[in-house]
């Protein structure tokens, strides 16, 4: 019934998710290719993955039009354009990092004839198939129009990552990490699913646009702007999604999982689930409020702030705790991957600042920040993935001592990305933080900015270790055994990302403009009359 | 015709009404985009600097950087010349090149709502005059340096010429910039170039120390300039000359406070004194002679050190507003002239004598500004640029040929040495100009300053005039002391080397300088030269070649021709060309009455005992007499009866009452030592105390203590991250519960 009533919106939605459909097809193809007996076909798996990602960027650029987005009844109509291009582009870089590492030993064994080909043992096809599925799920979040869709997209983004962690290294630690990740992920999914159900109970609809409309109507709300049930649902949904961001209090898994997975998978975990969580919050938060929204309370028209106070308070608290615990935790680490795990927790805290600062400047700043973060994060893990010690990942800071003397380019790229993460001009990280902090200032969140600035200062302490140890440290007997992996792809990715960290500010104006198209339609065309009619038709149908 | 008309207008003004004349005399600037090619004057040296940098990076092993710089500077000179010929000089021209600093804001109660400093040029006749000799001398000295620095080809050659190009760019920005921010950019730029070039021989500790000294002394002055620029903006809301002069003409509307307005000239003065080496900031300039000699000639004699005079001449209307400012300038200038001249008398290093004479002559220029003759000051800048550059280049050529010898006791009769003829005679011309010998360029320019001191009728200025006359006598004496010692008398010399400590390190590269052919003595061994002593009988000084000799002759011609404007002015009653130039600029307010018929003020002037009614003519006579007397004394002590000078010194030293005099002079009045005790020592002590505080308290307790806090905090939470799945799940659930409870608490509070 619903489907019939909203069939024009359905066709628009189907068109909008064409990139994801393409990736789905790609996932199937890659899974089959990976099982091929022919070694060169198996070797082509990363290449095919990359081609499908490029294809999805192209298709996304073609199908994402304002008319279609409005027709699809999206709360954030233009979010998809920029976000999908960003996800797929970073995905491409991640393919370069991960490509050669999966099944490397096994393929060598096959090549040398030490082992016969065994389809049960090859993992490359599965890995990249799940890789594409997760990316497709992440992209789907950007075009979410209802809670079911959001839940399915979030799970599509998450479930493959559990498998990826498990198969990434084939060691017990990786499997332990995957199990932890899976169980805690399930806990978080249960949390936000419960939140969603409360939201449905409070408003009687799953459509986000409709829900937002109902939350402005007098029979649903009280003076604070949100009914109690919806408020509780919102808090649970936000906290559940916080798991994807690795934000407090759902951040506990991060260090263990990052450490357990291979560097290339960690690079994926550092970015994809994070942007998935951010996009989910971006489509969810405007349901509860919008800048300058007026509601009728006992016949009086009241102008609401961007978010109702309790929800803003949750985000505020989560942001502060996440930044602080992340940075403080990172201070104690000697293991680079654990350090970067805590650093990524802290980065989520900064992202929360932008989410809290409102759907225009704040969201734009977050989307722009994610670009810089994605490139920098990939650069760092690509450097780690380019190195190995006795066939194992490079783990501790000591392994990196004096890297400059043996692999100067990698050391420079690591230094550039660490400095960018501190937020030093003129690197991309500085401009990201600048946009975030200035949007927060405009939104009146000066306390948050001060907390974030103090945290940035603390973070300099451990980020600078990533500069000082490779650049100034003395190589020792331990680092003698550290060498570059045979494949040049991770190094290439490191160089591309490192150079990007340095050169992206040159296109600053264009990038910021691209990011700000994401929120364009939101404020200008709230709900067109036809959509109103449709929404009421949907309501009547129920 | 127009020029004549404005001169006759000016003739009606007396110095007493300078202040009123100042703002009225400046015509509004005309925007002239058609002269945008004048930007080449800045662009060419900038390109040359970049190319020299590329040469240095590529390790070019030939004279390419020198050639690039010489060509670029010659082209800049040609551009300046064509600008001078093509641009009508009736009104200043503003050439907007591009927007640069542009801030605008809105606000309740804001006095000013913008801060604009576009990259524009303000070109009037003062600018053109300055740029003509800056680029002209700059290109000539660059050509000279191509030969002079050849020992360093492939080593510091590109660095040297790169720095020279940077200097020319910065000097252009300083002089041509359309606002005080561009002036400041140039001001700091020339300071940087000066620092780099003084410290050119960076492996020599004395050169490094001299470079730092120059830089720090200039910093003190620059603080004054920066404050001055800020106060100007605060009071007048603009840093652009044109708008500033308009605001001044309108009476400085919107000015915030009287004291800040009154402080402007004193702040600018401090900047000028630092850059132009006046008391109390003069001690850096003699030490700056550690740099290669072409640099001494270009930067530390002819151009950069006159930036202070340019600054005051350019902002003269501001000085005219404040009654005592110009008096202070005059007193400081005169005192510097005297002190530096006395020190110059007792130095043995000929480059140092010239350095002190530069300080002394700069003092004259400030005296000229102070007593109210911007024309005299600017004219002296102009003539001094030529003859002092000539003198330095002669010193450099002597040094180049004599293996770094600079001690006037160890050289004699060079005029008879083969290859030193051009040097000796051009050196003589330079000395005559410096001594103010009648009818040389220096004579006219110096006299116009001294005459104005007497003509003003102000008793303070009259006293300063007498001091200036006495200084003129000293100047003539010490100048010819050098010439008679070095070029006169019997031929006798010994080569210098690094051990003497007088060279500017050129001695170190001396062998390289000898090893090229073409100056007539190639082929014999040079192995022992650097070690002095035994090498004297087999060592031959080598005369310079075309590049040095040609430039010496050209600059000598310039030094002679610099007197031409005065000949035309005095003899043929045509307007003095330089005076016309100055009168069409913002310095016009400082041009005194130009009245040969004898004005009312001239009737009772201090020199009336000569029986000459006209104060200018009287000054000429008295000053000539002082100059010639100085030369005669020098002839006696240093040509005819050289022993007498030593005997006089011995006699003074033996008498307890006069003992201090030669010692004080030889030790430069112990100014460095006094500064050391009064400023450096307390600063050193304070620095160490603060360092200890920083190390122990700030770093030790505050910083490290704070840094330990997050780590301790982290350790506190560490048990939560125990790696156990159940623990994580429980903590997460607990966290959710806590936050949900907290939200409900907010809810209950009615948030």
Q: List, for residues A427-445, the tens digit of each pLDDT value.
A: 999 999 999 999 998 888 8
Tell which residue, B147, B158, B153, B161, has the closest CA to residue B518: B147
Q: What sign does the CA torsion over B664, B666, B671, B674 have?
A: negative
How far is CA B740 from its chain centroid?
72
Tell which residue, A241, A237, A242, A246, has the closest CA to residue A271: A246
Q: Tell me which of A194 and B204 has the higher pLDDT.
A: A194
Residue A159 has pLDDT above 90, yes or no: yes
Q: How far apart are CA A266 and CA A161, in angstroms?
A: 10
The answer for residues whose C-beta is within 8 angstroms of residue A304's C-beta and 6 or more apart is A225, A289, A290, A293, A294, A295
Dump pLDDT digits (tens) for A322-379: 999 899 888 888 899 999 999 999 999 999 999 998 877 889 999 999 999 999 999 9
Q: How far is A6 from chain B (nearest CA, A)?
A: 36
What integer is the mean pLDDT of A117-141?
A: 91
Lowest model confidence (mean pLDDT) among A87-101, A372-386, B309-323, B354-368: B309-323
- Confirm if B362 and B276 have CB atoms less than 8 A apart: yes
- DSSP secondary structure letters along B269-296: HHHHHHHTT-TTS-THHHHGGGS-HHHH
The whole-chain average pLDDT of chain A stands at 86
Torsion angle in degrees (nearest 10) through CA of B14, B20, B21, B25: -170
CA Rg value for chain A: 23
Which runs of consecutive H residues, i.e. helices, occur in B372-499?
374-401, 421-435, 441-455, 459-486
Cβ of B728 under 8 Å from any chain A Cβ? Answer: yes
How far is CA B314 from its chain centroid?
15
Percent share of chain A, pLDDT over 90: 48
- Confirm if B53 and B162 have CB atoms less than 8 A apart: yes
Strand partners, B349: B407
Most distant CA atoms of chain A, gap in Å: 81
Classified as helix, coil or strand, A436 is: helix
Q: Tell me which of A2 and B642 has the higher pLDDT.
A: B642
Q: How far apart are CA B608 and CA B598, in angstroms?
A: 12
- Confirm if B360 and B471 have CB atoms less than 8 A apart: yes
Classify burial at B155, counting beta carbons within 10 Å of its beta carbon; exposed 0-12, middle 13-18, buried 19 or more.
middle
Classified as helix, coil or strand, B227 is: helix
Percent share of chain B, pLDDT over 90: 16
- The residue in chain A having the minimum alpha-carbon distance to the alpha carbon of residue B707 is A458
Classified as helix, coil or strand, B231 is: helix
Q: pLDDT band at residue B678, thresholds of 50, 70 and 90?
A: confident
Which of B702, B716, B743 is the best substitution to test chain A (most A C-beta atoms within 10 A)?
B743
Residue A488 has pLDDT above 70, yes or no: yes
- Confirm if B275 and B269 have CB atoms less than 8 A apart: no
The whole-chain average pLDDT of chain B stands at 80
Residue B448 — φ and ψ, nearest 5°?
Answer: -65, -30
In the numeric block, which tokens belong to residue A411? 């050391």
Q: How far is B724 from chain A (nearest CA, A)?
A: 9
What integer is the mean pLDDT of A505-529?
A: 70
Angle, helix B421-435 to helix B459-486, in steps of 10 degrees: 160
| Contact: A317, B720; criterion CB under 8 Å | no
C-alpha distances (whole Å) from A447 to each of A289, A441, B676 are 22, 9, 49
What's the pLDDT at B526? 40
What's the pLDDT at B596? 41
Please name the residue that has the structure tokens 């073409």. B518
Which runs of consecutive H residues, i.e. helices, occur in B116-179?
125-148, 157-176
Among B711, B733, B739, beta carbon nearest to A317: B739
Among B715, B729, B739, beta carbon nearest to A314: B739
* Type and span of the H or E element at B117: strand B114-123
Q: pLDDT band at residue A6, thresholds of 50, 70 and 90?
A: low
Which of A226, A237, A247, A332 is the best substitution to test chain B (most B C-beta atoms within 10 A)?
A332
Residues of B in contact with A332 (CB under 8 A): 711, 714-715, 718
* Type and span of the H or E element at B493: strand B492-493
- Confirm if B592 and B373 have CB atoms less than 8 A apart: yes
Q: How far apart are CA B493 and CA B496, in angstroms?
A: 9
Cβ of B459 under 8 Å from any chain A Cβ? Answer: no
What integer is the mean pLDDT of B304-332?
A: 88
| Contact: A236, B739; criterion CB under 8 Å | no
Question: Residues, chain A, total?
Answer: 542
Q: How far is A329 from chain B (nearest CA, A)?
A: 5
How far is CA A272 from its chain centroid?
4
| Contact: B736, A253; criterion CB under 8 Å | no
Q: How far is A330 from chain B (nearest CA, A)?
A: 8
What's the pLDDT at B575? 66
What integer is the mean pLDDT of B531-537?
A: 42
Q: How far apart are CA B139 and CA B79, in angstroms?
A: 12
Among B710, B734, B743, beta carbon nearest to A313: B743
- The residue in chain B having the minimum alpha-carbon distance to the alpha carbon of residue A179 is B725
Among B718, B729, B740, beta carbon nearest to A184: B729
Q: How far apart are CA B62 and CA B45, in angstroms?
A: 20
Q: How far is B154 from chain A (nearest CA, A)?
A: 29
Among A188, A310, A332, beta carbon nearest to B743: A310
Dump pLDDT digits (tens) for B332-363: 999 999 999 998 888 888 888 889 999 999 99
Tell which residue, A367, A372, A377, has the closest CA to residue A345: A377
Cβ of B715 under 8 Å from any chain A Cβ? Answer: yes
What integer is the mean pLDDT of B303-329?
A: 87
Lowest model confidence (mean pLDDT) among A218-227, A500-509, B273-282, B495-504: B495-504
- The residue in chain B having the minimum alpha-carbon distance to the alpha carbon of residue A313 is B743
Q: How far apart are CA B379 and CA B129, in angstroms?
A: 10
Residue A17 has pLDDT above 70, yes or no: yes
Which positions in chain A have a beta carbon within 8 angstroms of at least one beta carbon in chain B? 179-180, 183-184, 187-188, 191, 224, 228, 231-232, 235-236, 239, 243, 248-250, 252-253, 255-256, 309-310, 313-314, 317-318, 325, 327-329, 331-332, 458, 461
Cβ of B719 under 8 Å from any chain A Cβ? Answer: no
Q: How many CB pairs below 8 Å do chains A and B form together?
A: 87
CA angle (A198 as vertex; A70, A154 as ends), nearest 5: 55
Q: Tell me which of B48 and A9 has the higher pLDDT.
A: B48
Among B710, B743, B747, beta carbon nearest to A328: B710
Q: How far apart are CA B344 and CA B298, in angstroms?
A: 20
Q: Is A317 left (phi over 0), alpha (psi -120 to 50) or beta?
A: alpha
- Confirm if B596 and B616 have CB atoms less than 8 A apart: yes
Q: Tell me which of B609 and A203 has the higher pLDDT.
A: A203
Residues of B in contact with A224 (CB under 8 A): 747, 750-751
Domain regions of chain A by residue span = 10-541
C-alpha distances (whole Å) from B438 to each of B341, B446, B576, B623, B625 are 20, 11, 18, 9, 9
What integer is the mean pLDDT of B293-316?
A: 88
Dump pLDDT digits (tens) for B562-609: 888 777 776 666 667 777 777 777 777 666 654 443 444 444 566 666
Residue A208 has pLDDT above 70, yes or no: yes
Lowest model confidence (mean pLDDT) among A426-430, A524-528, B102-106, B327-331: A524-528
In the numeric block, which tokens belong to residue B319? 């000085």
- The residue in chain B having the minimum alpha-carbon distance to the alpha carbon of residue A180 is B725
Please name the residue that has the structure tokens 């929800």. A311
Classified as helix, coil or strand, A205 is: coil
Residues of A in contact with B710 (CB under 8 A): 327-328, 331, 458
In the numeric block, which tokens belong to residue B413? 């009769």
Encode B20-30: b = buried (16+ Cβ within 10 Å), e = exposed. Answer: ebbbebbeebe
Q: pLDDT band at residue A416, thresholds of 50, 70 and 90?
A: very high
Q: Tell me which of B716 and B358 has the higher pLDDT.
A: B358
The answer for residues whose C-beta is within 8 angstroms of residue B108's C-beta and 6 or more apart is none
Lowest model confidence (mean pLDDT) among A139-148, B633-642, B673-682, B704-713: B704-713
Residues of B in contact with A239 (CB under 8 A): 735-736, 739-740
Which runs of consecutive H residues, i.e. helices, occur in B519-614?
546-561, 564-571, 577-583
Q: How far apart are CA B400 and CA B552, in angstroms?
A: 14
Strand partners, A482: A389
Measured between alpha carbons, how far apart are the two ends of chain B, in Å? Answer: 83
What integer is the mean pLDDT of A175-199?
A: 93
DSSP, res B407: B
Please name the residue that has the structure tokens 């399930």. A186
Among A183, A310, A327, beta carbon nearest to B725: A183
What's the pLDDT at A48? 94
What's the pLDDT at A316? 92
Highest mean pLDDT among A395-404, B102-111, B254-263, B642-651: A395-404
| Contact: B717, A188; criterion CB under 8 Å | no
Q: How far apart are CA B234 and CA B237, in angstroms?
A: 6
CA Rg value for chain B: 30
Among A231, A252, A332, beta carbon nearest to B731: A252
Torsion angle in degrees (nearest 10) through CA of B733, B736, B741, B742: 140
Q: How far apart are CA B73 and CA B303, in angstroms?
A: 14
Q: pLDDT band at residue B24, thresholds of 50, 70 and 90?
A: very low
What integer is the mean pLDDT of B466-494?
A: 87
ipTM score assigned to the predicted complex: 0.83
- Confirm if B450 and B373 have CB atoms less than 8 A apart: no
Cβ of B705 under 8 Å from any chain A Cβ? Answer: no
Classify burial at B604, counting beta carbons within 10 Å of its beta carbon; exposed 0-12, middle 13-18, buried 19 or more.
exposed
Provide the 10 A C-beta neighbour count for residue B328: 16
């Amino acid at each position: 019934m619903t489907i019939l009533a909203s069939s024009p919106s359905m066709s628009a939605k189907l068109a909008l998710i064409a990139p994801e459909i393409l990736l789905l097809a790609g996932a199937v193809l890659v899974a089959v290719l990976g099982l091929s007996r022919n070694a060169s076909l198996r070797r082509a798996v990363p290449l095919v993955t990359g081609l499908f990602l490029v294809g999805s960027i192209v298709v996304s650029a073609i199908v994402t039009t304002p008319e279609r987005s409005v027709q699809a009844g999206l709360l954030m109509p233009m979010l998809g354009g920029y976000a999908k291009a960003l996800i797929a582009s970073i995905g491409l870089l991640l393919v370069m990092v991960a490509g050669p590492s999966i099944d490397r030993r096994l393929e060598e064994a096959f090549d040398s004839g030490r082992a016969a080909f065994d389809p049960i043992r090859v993992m490359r096809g599965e890995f990249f198939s799940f890789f594409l599925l997760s990316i497709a799920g992440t992209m789907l979040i950007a075009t979410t129009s209802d809670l079911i869709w959001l839940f399915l997209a979030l799970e599509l983004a998450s479930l493959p990552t559990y498998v990826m962690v498990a198969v990434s290294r084939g060691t017990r630690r990786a499997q332990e990490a995957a199990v932890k990740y899976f169980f805690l992920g399930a806990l978080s999914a249960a949390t936000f699913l419960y939140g969603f159900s409360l939201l449905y109970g409070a408003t009687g609809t799953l459509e986000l646009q409709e829900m937002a409309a109902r939350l402005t109507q007098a029979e649903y709300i009280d003076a604070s702007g949100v009914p109690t049930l919806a408020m509780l649902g919102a808090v649970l949904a936000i906290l559940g999604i916080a798991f994807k961001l690795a934000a407090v209090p759902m951040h506990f898994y991060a260090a263990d999982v990052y450490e357990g997975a291979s560097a290339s998978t960690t690079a994926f975990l550092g970015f994809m689930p994070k942007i998935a969580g951010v996009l989910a919050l971006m489509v969810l938060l405007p349901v509860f409020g919008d800048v300058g929204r007026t509601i009728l309370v006992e016949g009086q028209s009241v102008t609401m702030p961007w978010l109702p106070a309790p929800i803003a308070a949750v985000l505020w608290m989560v942001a502060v705790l996440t930044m602080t615990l992340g940075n403080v935790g990172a201070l104690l680490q000697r293991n680079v991957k654990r350090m970067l795990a805590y650093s990524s927790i802290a980065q989520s805290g900064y992202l929360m600042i932008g989410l809290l600062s409102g759907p225009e400047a704040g969201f734009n700043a977050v989307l722009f920040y994610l670009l810089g973060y994605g490139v920098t994060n990939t650069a760092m893990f690509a450097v780690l993935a380019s190195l190995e010690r006795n066939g194992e990942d490079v783990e501790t800071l000591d392994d990196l001592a004096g890297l400059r003397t043996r692999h100067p380019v990698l050391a420079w790229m690591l230094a550039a990305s660490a400095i960018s993460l501190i937020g030093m001009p003129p690197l991309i990280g500085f401009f990201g933080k600048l946009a975030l902090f200035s949007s927060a200032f405009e939104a009146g969140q000066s306390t948050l900015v001060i907390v974030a600035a103090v945290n940035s200062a603390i973070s300099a302490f451990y980020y600078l270790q990533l500069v000082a140890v490779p650049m100034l440290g003395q190589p020792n007997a331990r680092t003698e055994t550290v060498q570059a992996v045979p494949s040049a792809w991770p190094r290439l990715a490191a160089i591309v990302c490192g150079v990007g960290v340095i050169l992206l500010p040159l296109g600053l104006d264009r990038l910021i403009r691209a990011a700000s198209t994401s929120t364009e339609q939101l404020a200008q065309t709230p709900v067109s009359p036809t959509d109103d009619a449709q929404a009421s038709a949907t309501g009547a149908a129920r | 015709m127009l020029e004549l008309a404005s001169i006759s207008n000016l003739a009606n003004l007396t110095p007493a009404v300078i202040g009123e004349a100042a703002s009225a005399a400046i015509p509004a600037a005309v925007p002239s985009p058609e002269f945008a090619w004048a930007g080449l004057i800045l662009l060419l040296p900038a390109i040359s600097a970049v190319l020299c940098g590329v040469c240095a990076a590529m390790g070019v092993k030939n004279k390419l950087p020198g050639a690039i710089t010489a060509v670029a500077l010659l082209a800049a000179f040609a551009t300046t010349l064509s600008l001078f010929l093509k641009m009508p000089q009736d009104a200043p021209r503003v050439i907007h090149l591009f927007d640069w600093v542009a801030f605008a804001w809105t606000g309740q109660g804001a006095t000013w709502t913008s801060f604009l400093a576009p990259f524009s040029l303000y070109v009037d006749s003062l600018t053109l005059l300055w740029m003509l000799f800056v680029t002209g001398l700059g290109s000539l000295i660059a050509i000279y340096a191509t030969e002079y620095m050849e020992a360093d080809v492939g080593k510091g050659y590109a660095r040297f010429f790169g720095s020279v190009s940077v200097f020319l760019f910065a000097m252009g920005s300083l002089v041509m910039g359309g606002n005080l921010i561009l002036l400041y950019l140039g001001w700091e730029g020339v300071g940087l170039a000066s620092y780099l070039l003084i410290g050119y021989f960076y492996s020599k500790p004395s050169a490094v120390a001299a470079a730092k000294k120059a830089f720090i002394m200039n910093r003190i002055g620059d603080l004054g300039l920066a404050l001055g620029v800020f106060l100007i903006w605060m009071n007048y809301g603009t840093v652009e000359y044109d708008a500033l002069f308009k605001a001044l003409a309108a009476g400085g509307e919107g000015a915030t406070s009287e004291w800040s307005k009154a402080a402007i000239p004193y702040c600018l003065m401090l900047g000028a004194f630092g850059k132009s080496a006046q008391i109390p900031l003069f001690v850096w300039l003699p030490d700056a002679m550690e740099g290669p000699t072409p640099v001494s000639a270009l930067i530390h004699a002819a151009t950069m050190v006159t930036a202070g005079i340019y600054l005051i001449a350019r902002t003269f209307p501001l000085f005219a507003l404040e009654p005592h400012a110009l008096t202070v300038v005059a007193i400081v200038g005169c005192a510097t002239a005297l002190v530096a001249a006395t020190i110059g008398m007792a130095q043995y290093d000929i480059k140092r004598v010239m350095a002190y004479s530069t300080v002394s002559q700069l003092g004259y220029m400030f005296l000229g500004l102070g007593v109210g003759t911007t024309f005299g000051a600017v004219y002296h800048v102009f003539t001094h640029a030529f003859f002092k550059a000539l003198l330095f280049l002669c010193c450099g050529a002597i040094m180049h040929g004599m293996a770094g010898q600079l001690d006037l006791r160890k050289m004699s009769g060079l005029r008879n040495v083969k290859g030193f003829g051009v040097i000796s005679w051009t050196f003589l011309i330079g000395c005559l100009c410096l001594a103010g010998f009648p009818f040389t360029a220096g004579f006219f320019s110096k006299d116009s300053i001294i005459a104005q001191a007497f003509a003003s009728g102000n008793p303070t200025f009259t006293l300063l005039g007498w001091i200036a006359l006495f200084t003129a006598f000293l100047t003539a004496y010490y100048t010819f002391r050098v010439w008679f010692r070095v070029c006169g008398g019997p031929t006798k010399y010994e080569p210098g080397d690094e051990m003497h400590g007088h060279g500017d390190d050129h001695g170190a590269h001396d062998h390289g300088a000898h090893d090229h052919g073409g100056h007539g003595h190639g082929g014999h061994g040079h192995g022992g030269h650097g070690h002095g002593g035994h090498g004297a009988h087999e060592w031959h000084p080598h005369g310079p070649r075309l590049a040095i000799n040609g430039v010496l002759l050209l600059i000598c011609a310039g030094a002679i021709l610099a007197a031409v404007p005065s000949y035309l002015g005095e003899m043929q009653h045509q307007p003095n060309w330089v005076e016309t130039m100055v009168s069409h600029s913002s310095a016009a307010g400082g041009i005194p009455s130009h009245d040969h018929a004898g004005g009312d003020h001239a009737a009772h002037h201090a020199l009336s005992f000569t029986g000459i009614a006209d104060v200018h003519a009287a000054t000429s006579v008295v000053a000539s007499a002082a100059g010639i007397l100085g030369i005669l004394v020098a002839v006696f002590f240093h040509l005819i009866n050289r022993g007498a000078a030593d005997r006089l010194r011995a006699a003074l030293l033996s008498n307890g009452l006069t003992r201090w005099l030669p010692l004080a002079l030889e030790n430069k009045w112990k100014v460095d030592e006094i500064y050391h005790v009064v400023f450096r020592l307390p600063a050193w002590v304070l620095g160490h105390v603060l360092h200890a505080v920083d190390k122990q308290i700030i770093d030790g307790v505050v910083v490290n203590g704070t840094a330990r806090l997050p780590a301790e905090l982290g350790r506190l939470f560490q048990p939560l991250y125990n790696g156990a799945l159940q623990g994580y799940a429980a903590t997460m659930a607990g966290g959710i519960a806590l936050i949900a409870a907290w939200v409900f608490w907010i809810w209950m509070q009615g948030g």
